[in-house]
């Protein structure tokens, strides 16, 4: 008989807000907005007090201020948030057998079999208390037999609480909830289901799976199974060493600095696009240079989590300027982004305006449709090819596989 699974989902409550309040207790209880502070800024995160005014992440800052004039607005510091994220990650990884970090503030853990030695509910509560005690940050969790139900349970437990869904209770637990609670249901799917008159998960539970598949394609079957409280997907052990990289070996060794910089800019932009397409962020850049005598040098830099060209390209060029010191012919250059987590562009909203966000989205749509070299910066125009790409150190291209997780 197969072992029944026990899956824990942990999520730091209003993570960016909680970090700011940890550093300044005067912010406690006040409506707080984090993001671009100018009129063209965007809300990256907001406190529960601000949400009561209808404010949400991604809203233009000017609109948020109009809805809640008394709100405190903070620009935010991605380096500080990254530091606290790493601290929580270390605690969780040390405590559980299998840990999957899905974003800067969200984790899954497979506790299957641990109830022979510990009560999983008690153990999860102790882990939550340890995170709060050692970091000062509030965290909620959900516990069930699969990832979907545990994630939904965490959402229902918030703020700063926990919820366990017993085996056999998954379906009735999900039934009264809105369909947006199902993790795979985004805005487009939500509107399609709303147009069919579907508002509650209970309705999906009663629909024939064939109808869901006819309306939504293959994802319809997956959503239907999730609505039943079924999710066989495993907790995937992740390491922040997971990486995406690309390198280029030149037909003829070169010292043409303009050409080398153009190639590196093209590489950095292309990898940044791959990150955004896979809803990922990087916290580490590694640059590689191989000279004509096969002497190979690498240089690495830790950075705040990001997926933005305007952050990654300058840092890549800075590493090249520091690394390239022999003035010898170059045979190969390469760029690798590592320490990857989910999270999309949220971490880059602190100092962005709507124009830049819209520009990234428009460029990425064109790249998706016509190819990833459809749009490039002027500095990289000479780079007709950027070499072979190695998504995640030779493993399957998880950026795309994990796109909707």
Same domain? 381 vs 290: yes
Options 20, 49, 100, 106, the catalytic residue: 106
Q: Which of 309, 222, 237 is nearest to 270 (CA)?
A: 309
Write out the H or E segment, with its range, that includes residue 120.
helix 120-135
Same domain? 173 vs 51: no
How many Cβ atoms from other residues are within 10 Å of residue 329's Cβ? 14
Q: Which of 292, 293, 285 is nearest to 322 (CA)?
A: 285
The CATH number covering residue 17 comes to: 3.30.70.270
Same domain? 183 vs 205: yes
Range of the domain at 290: 243-401
Same domain? 267 vs 148: no
Same domain? 152 vs 187: no
The answer to whether 181 and 160 are in contact (CB under 8 A) is no
Tens digit of pLDDT at every position of the chain (405 positions):
456 899 999 999 999 999 999 999 999 999 999 988 776 788 889 999 999 999 998 888 899 999 999 999 998 888 888 899 999 999 999 999 899 998 889 999 999 888 766 789 999 999 999 999 999 999 999 999 999 999 999 999 999 999 999 999 999 999 999 999 999 898 899 999 999 899 999 999 999 999 999 999 989 999 999 999 999 999 988 765 478 999 999 989 999 999 999 999 999 998 988 888 888 889 899 999 999 988 899 999 999 888 888 889 999 999 999 998 878 899 999 999 988 887 655 555 555 555 666 666 676 677 666 665 555 555 555 555 555 455 443 333 333 332 222
**DSSP characters for 236-290?**
PP--TT-EEEEEEEEEEEE--HHHHHHHHHHHHHHHHHHHHHTTEEEEEEEEEEE
Choose one of 134, 165, 196: the last residue of a domain. Answer: 165
The answer to whether 223 and 211 are in contact (CB under 8 A) is no
The answer to whether 387 and 246 are in contact (CB under 8 A) is yes
Same domain? 20 vs 53: yes
Choose one of 133, 165, 197: the last residue of a domain. Answer: 165
Same domain? 82 vs 172: no
**DSSP characters for 289-318?**
EEETT--EEEEEEEEEEE--HHHHHHHHHH
The CATH number covering residue 191 comes to: 1.10.150.20
The answer to whether 263 and 377 are in contact (CB under 8 A) is no
Same domain? 112 vs 128: yes
pTM value? 0.72
Same domain? 305 vs 294: yes
To the query of whether residue 206 is one of the catalytic residues in this protein, the response is no
Distance CA(231)–CA(229), nearest Å, equals 7
Same domain? 153 vs 172: no
Q: Kindly list the distances between the CA atom of residue 201 and the CA atoms of 187, 191, 381, 391, in Å, as whole numbers in the listed order.
A: 16, 14, 50, 36
The CATH number covering residue 261 comes to: 3.30.1490.100
How many distinct structural domains can be found in the chain?
3
């Amino acid at each position: 008989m197969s072992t029944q699974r026990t899956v824990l989902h942990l999520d730091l409550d209003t993570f960016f807000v909680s970090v700011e309040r940890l550093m300044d207790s005067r912010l406690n209880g006040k409506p707080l907005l984090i993001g671009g502070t100018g009129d063209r800024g965007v809300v990256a995160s907001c406190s529960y007090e601000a949400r009561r005014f209808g404010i949400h992440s991604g809203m233009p800052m000017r609109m948020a201020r109009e809805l809640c004039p008394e709100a405190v607005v903070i620009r935010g510091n991605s380096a500080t948030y990254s530091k606290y994220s790493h601290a929580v990650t270390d605690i969780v990884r040390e405590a559980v057998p299998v840990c999957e970090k899905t974003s800067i503030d969200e984790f899954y853990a497979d506790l299957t079999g641990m109830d022979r030695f510990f009560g999983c509910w008690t153990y999860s509560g102790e882990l939550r208390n340890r995170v709060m005690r050692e970091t000062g940050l509030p965290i909620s969790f959900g516990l069930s037999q699969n990832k979907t139900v545990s994630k939904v349970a965490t959402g229902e437990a918030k703020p700063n609480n926990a919820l366990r869904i017993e085996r056999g209770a998954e379906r009735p637990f999900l039934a009264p909830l809105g369909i947006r609670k199902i993790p795979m249901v985004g805005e487009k799917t939500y509107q399609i289901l709303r147009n069919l008159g579907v508002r509650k998960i209970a309705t999906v539970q009663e629909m024939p799976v064939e109808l869901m598949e006819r309306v939504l394609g293959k994802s319809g079957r997956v959503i239907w199974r999730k609505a039943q409280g079924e999710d066989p997907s495993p907790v995937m052990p992740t390491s922040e060493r997971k990486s995406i990289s690309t390198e280029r070996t030149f037909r003829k060794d070169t010292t043409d600095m303009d050409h080398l910089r153009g190639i590196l800019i093209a590489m950095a932009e292309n990898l940044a696009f791959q990150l955004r397409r896979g809803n990922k962020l990087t916290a580490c850049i590694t640059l590689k240079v191989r000279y004509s005598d096969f002497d190979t040098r690498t240089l690495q830099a830790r950075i705040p989590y990001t997926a933005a060209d305007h952050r990654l390209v300058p840092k890549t060029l800075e590493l090249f300027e520091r690394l390239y010191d022999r003035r010898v012919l170059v045979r190969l250059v390469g760029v690798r982004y590592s320490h990857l987590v989910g999270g999309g562009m949220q971490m880059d909203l602190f100092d962005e305006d709507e124009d830049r966000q819209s520009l990234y989205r428009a460029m990425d749509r064109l790249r998706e449709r016509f190819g990833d070299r459809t749009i490039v910066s002027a500095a990289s125009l000479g780079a007709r090819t950027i070499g072979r790409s190695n998504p995640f150190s030779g493993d399957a291209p998880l950026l795309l596989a994990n796109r909707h997780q």
